[in-house]
Structure 1
């Protein structure tokens, strides 16, 4: 008896029978911008097809040039492109997979000068102002969707998904916020729905009954002036009547002031919005966003809120997700932690997407799953992110690996990070590495401090030093006072923090410490608390599902976050999650100060200068978050001995250290050994 009877049951969708209820949602990967783009995309999709996912959706392809996400973005509107699409489809089909092409017109989100929209008004996240489509151009746009759908069918795709959510063109037509038209495509609900309905009708007429047609509908806009629940349900019914086989649900617009997929969002938080769509139609409905474990997916399906689950980033993290569920190996799933660091943040930095916990994602061609030509004995010293990754990938390539850790547990700095509200998903990463290292037969030696003497005579072919970092101390009068603590002491709960707190350093660690002291741990785990904090009406009875926040922070500390630089605090935080953290801290009353020079610390508090004026901040605790230093002591003693030694992670370079870089560096070294 399986623990996941709903998740693993087959489902009839249109004329297609899916083997399970797990779908890989559409993602922008930017792999098409790299060398060997077709081969890279094929390797990416086929590995996930082999992982037994029932259906895969491509990233969005625009039907017209003005609808691309960015200059040079994916566009499918010419017969000359059929060969490259057939290459992808056939590669996936050979591995038993099914591939659906998503058709996406970015509308006013298109980062191109000639972007278009239903009405005037620039999107907050786009420097370009859109041109308003006239009525004839709207009808021409409908024809462009039909043309791309026909090309997709000819290329051999299983079906198409019409992207009608997340604030892209079709969603802009459905919402009063962005549709002030007076023609047949505006005004009443019927007018605002007309573009979506006409596209689905025309595509169905073109492709026939046996070609899968999915429509992605915004289950909740999270924008003032967005659609309300009765309108969303009416649209869902109209889409079904127009000929869609399935409705996939999207959550929020990209410019919404409510987080939708960050780790601070509770798992499956949007179930109510999805269930309301499901209640309105008879065709299958797919849930999406923050569904990252088999248990939460099974729970959602068992509740009747949806028929399938769409998991995009979880399939970046682990391409074998579905196969592991079928085989009862859920403890070995490399779980998506919703950090956004290596996927969305990289996309918005115009890089290709990968994954913090699985750096092979998007780089399958560069790091194939094949054994090393020569197997070696490898010692890895330090079981932080870099050390664990190096040990794991080296062992999987056939090397005999011993992993040494001075403390009593794996994880290094991850054990501090997981203490921060909104970062508890790092527990999943620690669980994954613990299971994976054991399965790979890595010999783990905890509470073992390694020295150069203990390594000599062991006949290791390769020695990897991954001894991590230590907090940087500050040279300042009073720095040795008991009231001065390191971030490590605070996050590991080794020291008591007073009522009034000054945090020196407003980088990522400083923000994490401020969140640790002021954040509400319930927000990322309790839907009701999350909705109150962010002003969300999950039933969408209000316009766009937005209501007044009902949040009164009751922090235990009065916190001052200070930085030397005069730039805006938090400027270097993650592009897609930094704003969430800054917003949370502002709500909690954290006061941020920039352009600060520190002079000394005394029992009276922190002495500093700002704008040339000396001041004293009356605090009883000063927490130093002034960066980190590499712990290179062991490496320094090994180098003169002529041993084959390598250094990675924080031990190699502590500046701007993050887990993504550490894990990828560990993997890369494992492939070079």
Structure 2
């Protein structure tokens, strides 16, 4: 008896039988446009089919040139473009898999001069203002979708997915805010639906009754002036009647100011929306977003929220996700932690997609972990992300590995990261490596600081000893009110007013940790309507009162958090805005005493005061001149974020009142053991011990796996 009877049950859809209820969702990998990229793409998909993937949906391919995401982006409009696609479909079918091509017209999200849209309105996340399509061009675009679907059928695809959500062209036609047309494709609900329905109908007519036609429906737009749910249902019924085989649920536009797939989003956070669709429609419904374990998928289907679950990034993290679930080995799944750092951040930066916890993703042909020719005794010092990843990869190749860790548990900085609100999934990575190390016979010695004597018998030594917090050298930093970030995250008592020294990623995490109420309701905080009565699903956000008053101090004069992730930085900034966290930038530290932190700032500097709130989304920053920072705010638990107490030429001396000061001023490498090791054997330094400029787990794990792959 399987633990996942609903998730692993087959499903008949038209002429196809899906082997289980997990769809591998669309991801634009960056190989779609690369010359010869189809061969690496085929390897990527084949490894997933071998790992149990049933139906795979490709990255988005436009039905014409103007709909491509970038200039010279991937599109399918001619027969001479079919050979690379056949390379992919032949490879997938040879392994027994199914694959559908996603047809995605970027609309006003296209980042090139030929961008088109229902109306000439620039998207807030794009610099390009699109040209408005004429009525004839809209009709031609419908035919472009039909022709592209027919070409996909010729190329051997088992179906297509029509991208009608996330704010792309079809979605833009559906919303009055982005569709201000007065022709037959605008002006009324029925007219705004016409384009989407005509696309589905013509695709079905062009491909016949047995071809799989999925439609990605924007069930919750999460943008102002968007669709009401009754309009969404009306579209669903018409799309169903037009010939859709499956409706896949889309949540939120790319420009929405509510997180939908990042790590701070609760598991299966939006499947109640797919349930509402399923209760009103007849075709199978797929649920999406923040489902990363087979247990979650099983629960979603068992309780009737959906007929299928669509998971994309979990297949980046572990190509054998389904096979491991089927074999009752869920602890062996390398779970997606929704960090976005190597997947979506890469995609939106024009880089090839990969995965933080699995750097082999999209590099299956070049980063190969084949059997070793010479098994070595390898000592690894440090069981943080780099040490765990190297030990696992080297042992998988056949090396005999001993892993030393001075702390009682493996995990390193991930043990701290998983304590941050919204980052509990980082614990999955620790669980995965712990399981794998045991399976591979790695000797793990925790609670032991390795010495040169411990390493004497090793043929090779890998130092992954990580980092130590940097001491900034501020007068008074050794005082009784000062703590390190590690102390705070491990539970040291903290006062009501806190000054955080350092505005990087660690400073943001600590500020969030200190202000976030663990009982806060995600939907209420971000303004998501679970009753499906509000237009677009938006309500006025109601942030929970912060647990403490926090001010973040930053040496540089740039934007706080400027180096945070491309697709998640705005979320972290919004979280701190909602918590009333203040930012003071361009500071020159003077001293720390019992009153707080004394700093100098330029007299033209500003305080980013985020406590006001209001509006339909995260509050905009209010900025005040440094010379005016002494006012404070009523109800904030004491003085304001800063008090101007003296003035120097061109500078203002500012007192930031604080009961507790937390040092988040960066980190330094710990690689001193390397100098104590003698002999001719190789010694490698990786991860934070190699480069400590940032706590970069993506680089650390990638570096570790590449080193393991390079060994004889």
Aligned equivalents of 1:314, 1:72: Cα separation in 2: 29
Q: Extract unaligned runs of 5+ from structure 1.
A: 524-528
Shift of 1:109: 0.4
- Whether 1:661 aligns to 2:686 is no
Q: Is the contact made by 1:406 and 1:448 (CA closer than 8 Å) also made in structure 2? A: yes
Q: Is the 8 A contact 2:368 2:709 kept in 1?
A: no
**1:490 corresponding residue in structure 2:** 488
Any conservation in 1 of the 2:52–2:323 contact (CA below 8 Å)? yes
CA contact (8 A) 1:61 1:103 kept: yes
**TM-superposed deviation, 1:420:** 0.5
User: Aligned residue for 1:254?
Assistant: 254
1:616 equivalent to 2:655? Answer: yes
CA distance in 1, matches of 2:416, 2:35: 38
Q: CA RMSD in A?
A: 1.1
How far apart, in 2, do the equivalents of 1:296 and 1:132 lie?
42
> For 1:109-153, what per-residue CA distance to the aligned partner results, in whole angstroms no more than 9, with x for missing partners?
011111011112100011000100010000000010011101100
| Inter-CA distance 14–539: structure 2 relative to 1 (3 Å threshold) | farther
Partners of 2:180 and 2:233 lie apart in 1 by 21
2:453 counterpart SS class = helix
**1:280 aligned onto 2:280:** yes
Q: Distance in 2 between matches of 1:603 and 1:197?
A: 67
Distance in 2 (CA, whole Å) between partners of 1:255 and 1:97 is: 34
Identify the residue that residue 424 of structure 1 maps to in structure 2.
424
Shift of residue 325, structure 1, vs aligned partner: 1.0
1:474 aligns to what? Answer: 472
Is 1:593–2:567 an aligned residue pair?
Answer: no
Q: 1:389 to 1:620 in 2, by over 3 A?
A: same
Q: Which whole-Å CA distance do the structure 2 matches of 1:35 and 1:631 have between them? A: 42
Which residue of the partner structure matches residue 356 of structure 2?
Answer: 356
- Indicate the residue corresponding to 2:538 in structure 1: 546
Q: Deviations over 1:86-124 (max 9, x none)?
A: 111001111111110000000000111110111121000
Inter-CA distance 370–643: structure 2 relative to 1 (3 Å threshold): closer
Separation (CA, whole Å) in 2 of partners of 1:437 and 1:267:
27
Q: How does 1:53-452 map to 2 (within 5 A)?
A: 53-452=53-452
* Shift, 1:369, TM fit: 4.2
The higher relative CO (CA closer than 8 Å, separation ≥ 6) is in 1
Q: CA deviation at 1:421?
A: 0.4
| Residue in structure 1 matched with residue 524 of structure 2 by the alignment | 532
Counterpart CA distance in 1 for 2:701 and 2:121 is: 42
Contact 2:32/2:59 (<8 A) preserved:
no
* CA–CA separation in structure 2 for the residues paired with 1:520 and 1:292: 25
- Residues 287 and 310 of structure 1 are in contact (CA less than 8 Å); yes or no, is this contact kept in structure 2? yes
Displacement of 1:522 in angstroms is 4.0
SS in 2 for 1:610: strand
SS in 1 for 2:379: strand
Q: Output the CA distance in 1 between the equivalents of 2:706 and 2:660.
A: 41
**Residue of structure 2 aligned with 1:499, choices 496, 507, 512:** 496
CA distance in 2 between counterparts of 1:361 and 1:341 reads 13
Residue deviations 1:289-336 (CA, integer Å, cap 9, x gap): 111111111111011121000000011011101111111111111111
Q: Is the 8 A contact 2:33 2:74 kept in 1?
A: no
User: How far has the Cα of 1:552 moved from its partner?
Assistant: 3.5
Corresponding residue number in structure 2 for 1:644:
682
Distance in 1 (CA, whole Å) between partners of 2:694 and 2:12 is 49
Partner secondary structure for residue 32 of structure 2? helix
Describe the superposition over 1:369-422 as per-residue Cα deviations: whole angstroms up to 9, x where unpaired: 421222211111110000000000001111111111111100001111111101
Structure-2 residue corresponding to 1:571: 562
2:624 alignment partner in structure 1: none
The residue aligned with 1:463 is 461
Q: What per-residue deviation string (whole Å, max 9, x for no partner) do you get for residues 13-48 of structure 1? A: 111111100110001111235564111101110000
Change (3 A) 1:69 1:174: same
Aligned partners of 1:272 and 1:539 also within 8 Å: no
Instruction: Give the Cα–Cα distance (whole angstroms) in 2 for the partners of residues 23 and 654 of structure 1.
Output: 39
Residue 540 of structure 1, CA deviation: 2.6
Determine the C-alpha separation between the residues in 2 that align with 1:62 and 1:33: 12
| DSSP 3-state at the match of 1:668 | helix
**Which position in structure 2 is the counterpart of 1:581?**
572
**Candidates 506, 510, 513, aligned match of 2:507:** 510
Task: Give CA deviations for 1:176-219 in whole Å, capped at 9, x if unaligned.
Answer: 12111111111111101101111111111111111111111011
CA positional deviation for 1:229: 0.9
Distance in 1 (CA, whole Å) between partners of 2:117 and 2:32 is 26
Determine the C-alpha separation between the residues in 2 that align with 1:103 and 1:33.
15
Q: 1:178 to 1:427 in 2, by over 3 A?
A: same
Structure 2 residue 710 is matched with structure 1 residue 672: yes
Counterpart-to-counterpart distance in 2, 1:299 and 1:434:
26
Distance 1:35 1:377 in 2: 41
Give per-residue Cα distances to partners, 1:559-582, cap 9 Å, x unaligned: 110101111111111111111111
- Aligned-partner Cα distance in 2 for 1:34–1:498: 54
Matched-pair contact (CA < 8 Å) for 1:402–1:445: yes
**Corresponding residue SS for 1:390:** helix
Whether the 8 Å contact between 1:229 and 1:539 is mirrored in structure 2 is no
Q: Per the alignment, in what secondary structure is the counterpart of residue 454 of structure 1?
A: coil
Aligned to 1:453, the other structure's residue is in SS state coil
Is the 1:422–1:521 contact (alpha carbons within 8 Å) kept by the matching residues of 2? Answer: no
**Aligned to 1:606, which of 597, 600, 611?**
597
Point out the more displaced range, 571-580 or 31-40. 31-40
Deviations 1:498-518 (A, max 9, x none): 121111110000001101101
- Contact 1:158-1:211 within 8 A present in 2 as well: yes
- Secondary structure at 2:279's aligned position in 1? helix
2:671 maps to 632
Q: Across the two proteins, how many residue pairs are aligned to each other? A: 663
Q: TM-score, normalised by structure 2?
A: 0.92
Distance 1:291 1:522 in 2: 21
CA separation in 2, counterparts of 1:522 and 1:119? 43
